[in-house]
């Protein structure tokens, strides 16, 4: 777990290209602090998903340096990545729920991966189902759930392991405004528990809903810092760090 004073994530001059194509991310540098709430914005194709892939360790950069929980990701052996991934929660844009598993089993998956016994995981998963308002749908398969319900199962799966950092890719993209607000409140609740939250969105209305949030704006693969918060974190984050 990240201790006091430890940066959650540090990017330094990071560049990413796929194959021999041009860079989709160029000279990206920023620091994420514990307990902060970040919005990652930018137009379609700006590189938000690519940056998130770097954040949830689905990709290594082509250049630059990334440190996560005090560990250098660039030189970290592949077999040590699972340990770091267990400190992350990821909400995918397309949910990526496992279709043949029930809502309960989808949410329980991170605990089962971590080796939690069936007896020990019953209560946390039941609590999580209740937290996302799906207590009565534990046996439902994803195909029988609405888009909003699937999204809440995906969020519950991402947070059940109490991650140090939650990364969400367009989590409100497939739901109506009312549901989007509910989901945002879930993220805020998690953030209040101490989890650093990074939400990628192109919905600018969402940004106003979380007053203390910090904004990272990507434009054609380059990161801008419109509020200066990435370079000079506000007092709350500085105090936390």
- CB nearer other proteins, residue 96 or residue 182: 96
Q: Of the candidates 43, 98, 189, 238, which one interacts with other proteins according to CB under 8 A?
A: 98
240 binds other proteins (CB under 8 A): no
Q: Left if phi > 0, otherwise alpha if psi is -120 to 50, otherwise beta: which for 212?
A: alpha
Q: Per-residue x/- marks for other proteins, 112-151, CB under 8 A?
A: xxxxxxx-xx--x---------------------------
194 binds other proteins (CB under 8 A): yes
Phi and psi angles of residue 57, each rounded to the nearest 5 degrees, phi first: 60, 35
204 binds other proteins (CB under 8 A): no
239 binds other proteins (CB under 8 A): no
Q: Per-residue x/- marks for other proteins, 25-64, CB under 8 A?
A: -------------------------------xxxxx----
- CA separation, residue 236 to residues 17, 35, 159 (Å): 35, 9, 23
What's the rounded Cα separation, in Å, for the pair 69 and 73?
Answer: 10
Q: How far is the CB of 205 from other proteins (least distance, A)?
A: 29
Which string of b and e fits 47-75 if b means at least 16 CB within 10 Å?
bbbbbbbbbbbebebeebebbbbeeebee
CB 13 within 8 Å of CB 27: yes
Q: Give the range of 17-25, 106-114, 203-211, 218-226 binding other proteins by CB under 8 A.
A: 106-114
What's the rounded Cα separation, in Å, for the pair 57 and 52?
Answer: 8
- CB nearer other proteins, residue 120 or residue 219: 120
């Amino acid at each position: 777990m990240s201790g006091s004073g430890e940066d959650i994530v540090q990017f330094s001059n990071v560049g990413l290209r796929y194959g021999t194509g041009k860079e989709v991310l160029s000279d990206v540098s920023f620091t994420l602090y514990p307990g902060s709430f970040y919005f990652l914005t930018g137009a379609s194709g700006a590189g938000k998903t690519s940056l998130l892939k770097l954040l949830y360790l689905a990709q290594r950069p082509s250049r630059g340096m990334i440190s996560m929980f005090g560990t250098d990701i660039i030189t970290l052996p592949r077999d040590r990545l699972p340990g770091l991934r267990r400190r992350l929660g990821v909400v995918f844009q397309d949910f990526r729920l496992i279709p043949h598993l029930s809502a309960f089993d989808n949410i329980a998956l991170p605990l089962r991966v971590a080796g939690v016994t069936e007896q020990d995981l019953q209560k946390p998963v039941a609590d999580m189902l209740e937290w996302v308002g799906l207590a009565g749908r534990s046996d439902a398969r994803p195909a029988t759930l609405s888009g909003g319900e699937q999204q809440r199962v995906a969020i519950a799966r991402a947070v059940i392991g109490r991650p140090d950092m939650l990364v969400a890719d367009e989590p409100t993209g497939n739901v109506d405004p009312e549901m989007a607000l509910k989901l945002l409140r879930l993220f805020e609740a998690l953030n209040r528990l101490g989890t650093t939250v990074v939400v990628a969105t192109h919905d600018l209305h969402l940004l106003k809903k979380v007053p203390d949030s910090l904004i990272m704006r990507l434009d054609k693969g380059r990161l801008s810092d419109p509020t200066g918060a990435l370079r000079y974190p506000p007092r709350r984050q500085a105090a936390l760090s």
